[in-house]
Structure 1
Amino acid sequence: MKHTQYLFIPLLSTVLLAGCAESPTGRKQLKLFSESNLQKMGVDAFDEMKESTKLSTNPKHLARANCVANSITAKVGKEVFNGTWEVKVFDDEQVNAFALPGGKIGIYTGLLKVAETNDQLAAVVGHEVGHVIAEHGNERMSTSAVAQMGLQVADTVLTANDVGGKAQWMSALGLGMQVGFTLPFSRTHESEADLIGLELMAKAGFNPKEAVQLWKNMDKAAGGKRPPELLSTHPAPQTRIEDLQKNMQPVLKIYKSAPKNNCA
């Protein structure tokens, strides 16, 4: 048992030091995967989505999604993705959108109903692209890998000491990491992406105030069917709204000086 503990501590320290990085907001990050690998994963996942989910052919939907998304991605540095972003609208009623490493953006038709204006749609697209800019996918995969490593060591230690009720201990450890580590990390990512997206939409000429109205619409669409924030990967809508309002003044200045977009 002692040998296992002594081996794990320096191994974990080496992993953490090797993957230490900083997010666009100055937060420390753990990133263990290469950018090329993440982009390949993003492209492969998007190709699978296009095969498994019906694509919308509605010209109004396509024009709206492409105009907003292209306006947002025009403000993204080439170091994030040096190519032409691909935008697809999926014919599905779920209220969602996503962006993937490798320059891929997916928007569901359900979102186009809840995001009543192009400014509101820009808030969602900016948020999703914010995840890519901050490399949250890399960070989540990296922290999950480290957490899994810890659970494997815990299993070894419990087995070596013949601890009773090992299954219950492992279940508790897993839940503890999820609530105490993984979920707060996810909520941090969501809040960070909100702020990155807010700045992106302002630079692209979309009114950042509409991000607040968007989340009011999202909360209404959910009909109160949300888990407690402690057990959710996303901040509560009211928390998001308050955070957006706190950070509104700097982006309003950007918006006022930015050239207006051509999205009708």
Structure 2
Amino acid sequence: MNTFKQFTNEETSVWDKPQEPSLSRNLLNTIKADFEAIFAKDPSARSWFEVLTCYPGFQALLVYRIAHIFHQCQFYWLARFISYLARWLTCIEIHPGAKLGRGIFIDHGMGVVIGETAIIGDDVLIYQGVTLGGTGKQQGKRHPTLGNNVIVGAGAKVLGDIFIGDNTRIGAGSVTLCSVDNDCTVVGIPGRIVRRSGQKVDPLAHSQIPDPVADQIESLIQRIEQLEKPQQISDLQWTPFSVNSSQLAQFREKA
């Protein structure tokens, strides 16, 4: 299993990169693993024929596997053209230069973008609208690396040459710009870690992802209620009174 290490503040933080998926894996076995991942993670999958004909995520991965071979053989234009056809058919863009592991499932898939230098481990689940992109125009490694058993929620953006540890869950709609350790949950914009459970996450338990925005709103409401209580008490204790003109004149004479 891939490991990440983070040293104390007294030392320089060092991240052990996940090993890149082997490029020598048998193509058919890899496609079979992608196929089996759908039945393992999607309860609505009923038959192999339905998966082959109605799952754009699987179709995009299938075409990517072929385009990636051409890219390795330095037929770059042909690889990009094959990738372009897949994008036109599935609305999913996977650069043929990206390195993807086995057992990957792109659910729904609409709007998914995976950049050229992205690396994805095994058994990764990606939902619609996800971007694994870069943050600049620099050459070399500029896209994220995802470990094994990672889940990336709908609409999430993971940007830059960062590392996402094994069994980590990226919440829907979040924007992750920094590396994340194993077994974490990341939510928000910018993304921040809100849970370090140390346990493998359930890929279908999206309703259990913490909502830090809702928590902050709840905290503010409680604070406002606490501040209003003393004011209510003082309003009850205050008793209005009136002074007539004769009483005011007597007071002035004494003064």
TM-score bracket, shorter-length normalisation: under 0.3
* Greater relative contact order structure (CA < 8 Å, 6+ sep): 1
Bigger strand fraction = 2
TM-score normalised by length of structure 2: 0.25
Relative to the length of structure 1, the TM-score reads: 0.25
Choose 1 or 2 for highest CA Rg.
Answer: 2
